[in-house]
């Protein structure tokens, strides 16, 4: 099993969610995060004084999927989150050793 983590622009979340649903991904965890990459932050002006805001709001989407689904999930997320402009985000995959469904105690793929 793999954990797919995607940092995306907040307004693309709906598209990412629906394309994952179409792939049959049954659940996901979403959090509001802040950060920056090459895009860097932006500048705000208050009463003429400029403030650079380094951390911009992003959404972090996390899904745990079977190994054979990883490529399709990656492709779907990237497709849905891409606007072609700087600041679209990143997606990465990490191995997962074990998953347990709390209610039943099922393990591995059955718990997904």
Distances (CA, A) of 92 to 52, 81, 100: 28, 14, 22
Nearer to other proteins among residue 2 and residue 58 (C-beta)? 58
7 DSSP β-pair partners: 60, 90
User: Which phi and psi (to 5°) does residue 33 adopt?
Assistant: -130, 170
Distance CA 58, CA 41 (A): 12
Closest separation between CB of residue 47 and other proteins, Å? Answer: 5
For other proteins, which residue of 27, 31, 47, 98 counts as binding (CB under 8 A)?
47
- Per CB under 8 A, which region of 19-27, 53-61, 64-72, 92-100 contacts other proteins? 53-61
Stretch that binds other proteins, among 8-16, 48-56, 61-69, 96-104 (CB under 8 A): 48-56
């Amino acid at each position: 099993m793999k954990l797919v983590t995607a940092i995306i622009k907040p307004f693309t979340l709906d598209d990412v969610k629906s394309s994952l649903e179409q792939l049959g991904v049954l659940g996901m965890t979403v959090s509001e995060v802040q950060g920056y990459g090459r895009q860097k932050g932006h500048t705000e002006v208050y009463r003429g004084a400029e403030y650079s805001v380094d951390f911009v709001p992003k959404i972090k989407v996390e899904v745990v999927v079977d190994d054979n689904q990883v490529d399709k999930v990656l492709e779907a997320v990237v497709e849905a989150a891409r606007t072609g402009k700087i600041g679209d985000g990143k997606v990465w995959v990490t191995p997962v050793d074990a998953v347990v469904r709390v209610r039943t105690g099922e393990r591995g793929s059955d718990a997904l």
